[in-house]
Structure 1
Amino acid sequence: MSADLLPYTADRLAQARALAGLSDEALRIRAVTAARDKHAADLWALTLAYLSSETHAGVRLSPHTLRAYRKGVEVLLEHAASHAWNLLHPGRREPSLYVAALMASGLKPATVQARVAAAGALYRALRWAGATDADPFADVKRPRDRTKGVVKNPPYRADFVQALLAEANPDEQLLLLLLTHAGLRIAEALAVEWSHVDLTRKRLLVAHGKGDKARLVPLSARLREALLAQRAGAGTAPSGRVLPFQAYSTAYGRLQQLALRCGLEHEFRGFHAGRKYAGTQLYAAVKDFTRVAGFLGHEQVDTTRRYVELPEDDLEAAVEAFR
């Protein structure tokens, strides 16, 4: 990474300020140079500065989202280099051919969509810097996945969750319960602070959910027990985060090893299946997608429908008495 492009990188806001604080011409020249050289690190720095300063989520964009964007920028630049793209003035048909190449490589539609989103972010950053007026991915058709998300990645089964909870140490158990009982996203779970926990009212504040939206989540009896145990181990007046680790990779490794200890490593599918488990359990109890959407922090109920697994015989009792 060139030192002159990133004079200070202590945090995302400082990095964004370092670039945004340049004169229009200086920023344009640096962006044009990075695009000409297809310099991955410099173009990612530019994209990150744009995302941090010019989007709704800003510096609160989750690490998971940033990893996906960075990977997408790198993949686009590799393709552009091997196919002699002029990044600032790409050929009219090049973006569609790029999407076709991604599909031909065997990537799933959701991954292709993520790659295209990252490419779009790169070009928004280049326009923000005044380096180009090009918006080559604006009209590109993105593949649609006809398979429902709840079918591709269904909720964890109850016996899997219970097996992990039985084997988990207190930290792992708390993480699991934040996912499978509170329905939190992994970034939300890792960010929970003791000041967000209200054991008396049996609720938890998700201070910065997706899109920086806050919501209150009810606490199950088992999750309250785990929080009480964690608080007892932390002292009489704990502060800061409730979990001792904050890195996505650490949390993933802990649960992956836990599944391995249980002999269930092949059933471990990351964090989102735990969140779907919570949504499915709640829907079974309340039969109301709107209430489940509020619980999970979904803006659209249609999103919630992709999280809830309905039993195959869900309508059996309802139609039994048809005349």
Structure 2
Amino acid sequence: MTLVPYQGDRLAQADIWLGLHDDELRRRAVTAARDRDADTLVSLSLAYLTQHAASGILTSPRTLEAYALGIRQFLVYADTQAVALLRPDRHAPQRYVQAMLAAGRKPAGVQLKVAAAGALYRALRWAGATEADPFRDVRVPRDPTSGIEKRPPYTEDELVEVLEHADPHTTFLIFLMAHAGLRISEALALTWDDIDEVSRRIHVTSGKGRKARRVTMSVRLARAARHFRALYGPGAPEHARYRPSGRAPQYVFRYATQQAARYHLIRVFTAAGVPFRGFHPGRKYAGTRLLQQVKDFGRVAAHLGHASVDTTRRGYARLAADDLKDDLAGW
């Protein structure tokens, strides 16, 4: 049985808005827009997303946090630029984009801020506060630099140095990212039943978009998994003492948040003298190494859990510059 995080608080907050009469819903939305009440406008937007977004109540907390931050940032801009929220000047949204780009924000980040502002206006239209859809035709330029160039994978030497300073806990987490190619959210959601060291398979039940998949473990990862289970798995002597945070015993890792994982990894990377560049360079290491071995973007995309091969090609795997050297030798 797959455990689903409790969503009662989020649904209850949405129900506050959903339970209002249409006239009262409109009145509160108009008042919040007039007063630039960021808390109320964020609450309205999250209620709309909970009810009407494609994923509804299952929209990830990280997505909601990103949207809430983006809405607040747009409201600050609107306040400083005297943008009328309910009747914005038709040039205001594109000026907002240009202002962010001029300030040095990357196009991908700008696109996220535009999506958040667009969600605010969808919520305001849902509430009947406006008919404006100012971000519908906004254009954000594409970044010609690929994601793997902007944030390259960790190198083999870097990972070797880090693993020399890692305890069994961080060793296993690093292998899950750098060999299994797991997202950090997928790794932290693993339960002991999801890991089968004998068949060298990991059952990912909380993939992006709630898609499940089976991931093959490398021999070294399977060995690390057996060692980790012997130390901290159910029935192991250290199992009870391993959980000071009180997280449910079926989960592999004692902490559930990315902030906690980041704290532990930064300590290990710092001790090794290797800059910590985030979690994704570990996945990119897995993608790049696997691509150089199998020469098949489709198989790499399946390993990483990408719905599109283009995602893998743009940001997660690259072939060596001289990859065709042997193939062209006889021309």
Q: Same fold (TM over 0.5)?
A: yes
* Alpha-carbon distance in structure 2 between the residues aligned to 1:276 and 1:176: 12
Q: Could you list the runs of 5+ residues in structure 2 that have no partner in the other structure?
A: 1-6, 240-248
Q: Deviations over 1:172-219 (max 9, x none)?
A: 122211111111112111111223223332211211211121111112
Compute the RMSD of aligned alpha carbons.
1.9
1:187/1:248 contact within 8 Å kept: yes
* Alpha-carbon distance in structure 1 between the residues aligned to 2:73 and 2:265: 29
Within 5 A, what are the aligned runs for 1:158-177?
158-177=156-175
* Alpha-carbon distance in structure 1 between the residues aligned to 2:221 and 2:27: 54
One-letter code of the match for 2:322? Answer: D
Is the counterpart of residue 304 in structure 1 residue 303 in structure 2? no
Q: Of 245, 267, 278, which residue of structure 2 is paired with 1:270?
A: 278
Q: Deviations over 1:209-243 (max 9, x none)?
A: 11121111112222222322332223328842211
1:230/1:242 contact within 8 Å kept: no
Q: Of 114, 124, 129, which residue of structure 2 is paired with 1:131?
A: 129
* Alpha-carbon distance in structure 1 between the residues aligned to 2:149 and 2:12: 42
The percentage of counterpart residues that share the same residue type is 50
Is the counterpart of residue 65 in structure 1 residue 74 in structure 2? no
1:62/1:187 contact within 8 Å kept: no
Is the counterpart of residue 47 in structure 1 residue 55 in structure 2? no
* Corresponding position of 1:285: 293
Q: Deviations over 1:44-83 (max 9, x none)?
A: 1222222223223334433433332222111100001111
Within 5 A, what are the aligned runs for 1:17-56?
17-56=15-54
* Corresponding position of 1:320: 329
Q: Could you list the runs of 5+ residues in structure 1 that have no partner in the other structure?
A: 1-8
2:292/2:320 contact within 8 Å kept: no
Give the match's secondary structure for 2:215: strand
1:57/1:212 contact within 8 Å kept: no
* Corresponding position of 1:256: 266
What is the number of residues matched between the two proteins? 312
Q: TM-score, normalised by structure 1?
A: 0.90
Q: TM-score, normalised by structure 2?
A: 0.88
Is the counterpart of residue 207 in structure 1 residue 205 in structure 2? yes
* Alpha-carbon distance in structure 2 between the residues aligned to 1:175 and 1:157: 17
Within 5 A, what are the aligned runs for 1:183-222?
183-222=181-220
1:113/1:142 contact within 8 Å kept: yes
Deviation at 1:10, TM superposition (A): 6.1
* Alpha-carbon distance in structure 1 between the residues aligned to 2:235 and 2:56: 35
